[in-house]
Amino acid sequence: MHKLPAEFKVHIDETCVRCGRCARECSFGALKFEGRVVADHKNCVACHRCVATCPVEAITVTKNPYTYKENALWQPYHLHNIYKQANTGGKLLTSTGCDKPYPVYWDHILLDACQVTNPSIDPLREPMELRTYLGGRPDRIKLATDGGKTRLAEPLPPQIRLETPITFGAMSYGAVSLNAHKALAAAAKQSGTLMNCGEGGLHRDLYAYGDHIITQCASGRFGLHAEYLNAGAVIEIKIGQGAKPGIGGHLPGEKVTAAISETRMIPEQSDALSPAPHHDIYSIEDLRQLIFAIKEATHYQKPVAVKVSAVHNIAAIASGVVRAGADIVSIDGFRGGTGAAPTMIRDNVGIPIEIALAVVDERLRREGIRNRASIIVAGGIRNSADVVKAIALGADAVAIGTAALVALGCHVCQRCHTGKCAWGIATQRDDLVSRLDPDIGAKMLTNLLRAWSLEIKEMLGALGVNALESLRGSRERLRGVGLDAQTLDILGIKPVGR
């Protein structure tokens, strides 16, 4: 067996008061208290729970300086993975989104600003409209006259109103704790937006938040029944996930508690396996049948979304999804987070959301069907500037997952799949779940959305527009810096200076 070096080192300095709190807080077994704090470095994952809770700030966590012989091809990352697989014979697992140094296109896109001839708008003095509506729009509106009054001759497709263009992305009950779900749902209600409950069904405690919840129909059909479908504001058919395109999901049996068993409608302690494909969807025509079956089950009162991974032919896929009758297309880029995914899939399959969004919006506009569906994008949205750039590239709204979890306390240690989350987020252990107060969590999330919304208003004002609708798809307000001509062409934006 290969002895793997510890990835991190825990340092306890001389100011330690030997209270033992760090050992009690560590859920990975990296610290023990034996009259003094003893570190087992190989178990440290850099979740920083010990650092955050130490009353005298006596703890630091650093990267282990252990060095392999320098080799441009065989980097320590590759050697470490080979040693690990030689020991275990298993596939490598990880969590959250891709952390490899691929280009982050958001950081190479800059916003325009008004100066003299088209003055900017002061958001403190003039109203700024962030309200967004999700759902399909008809090609034309038919009017009728009744008793001298004009009215709509046909009802409009169902629309969902958002007070901010930011929603909470899909995270299932099981992948995250009930307290995390409660915080997300409460924050969505307070902020006038939506949270996506993911593929694990909806806990009974969250039905009261139904007007602000996207319920999901995934390949495993977990927790799926008529009451569940009608409980939410939007129903989403999950075809793919950005962190693991083309493969299914797996919630280990040890995470399937009695409450999760009841919610997902599966036996307690049994593995929850989501197949890679829906076994009733093998064509756009099959997808169309499911979309309209769901619309029938919900009496055509709720928009139906289809979530797909950002892959190479995403434009054609999105076109087919819209023509199949979807009211919303949700696109998840390859940096999208996950509770668990094979490392090689997460880091090598899919494309960035910036590219996917640009080509999908352009394709739908060229085909004259952009109005039939809204676009929500996810997978690496880190701040309000990313949101504004996504809107200008053509999105109607964005979904945040990792950013929301960070607001709840996540330190992105990428060990969600272990179920040992020290912050009470990605775990089902009662002693850990209790660390996350859903009321405080909801406040943190509400603060985040409020702060981002204020910044979005400022950026809109700088652009000289007072409504988000005026910016949607307006790529003329974007410029690329440090991008080659081909990438600029795909994004549909000009280089700086032009």
Q: What's the confidence (pLDDT) of residue 58?
A: 96
Q: For position 339, what pLDDT does the model report?
A: 93
Domain boundaries, the chain: 8-90, 132-495
How large is the average pLDDT for residues 51-74?
A: 93
Q: Which CATH class is domain 8-90?
A: alpha beta
Contact 405, 337 (CB under 8 A): yes
The answer on whether 26 is annotated among ligand-binding residues is: yes
Q: Is 217 annotated as a binding residue?
A: no
Is pLDDT at 252 greater than 90 in this prediction? no
CATH of domain 132-495: 3.20.20.70
Q: What is the mean pLDDT of residues 249-267?
A: 90
Say which residues have a Cβ less than 8 Å from residue 37's Cβ, sequence separation at least 6: 12, 16, 18, 20, 22, 23, 31
The pTM assigned to this predicted structure is: 0.95
Looking at residue 3, its pLDDT comes to 86
Q: Do 8-90 and 132-495 share a fold?
A: no
Structural contact between residues 271 and 216, judged by C-beta atoms closer than 8 angstroms: no
Name the band, by pLDDT with cuts 50, 70 and 90, for residue 178.
very high
- What pLDDT sits at residue 311? 97
Q: Is 22 annotated as a binding residue?
A: yes
Distance CA 352, CA 310 (A): 7
Note the pLDDT of residue 68. Answer: 85
Is 114 known to sit in a ligand binding site? no
Mean pLDDT, residues 8-24 taken together: 96
pLDDT tens, position by position, 393-447: 999 999 999 999 999 999 999 999 999 999 999 999 999 999 999 999 999 999 9
**Mean model confidence pLDDT for the chain:** 95
Residue 67 has pLDDT above 80, yes or no: no
What phi and psi, each to the nearest 5 degrees, are found at residue 300? 55, 30
Q: What is the mean pLDDT of residues 139-167?
A: 90
254 versus 11: which is more confidently predicted? 11
Q: What is the pLDDT of residues 105-139, one digit of tens each?
A: 999 999 999 988 888 999 889 999 999 999 999 98
DSSP state of 246: T
Q: Is 54 annotated as a binding residue?
A: yes
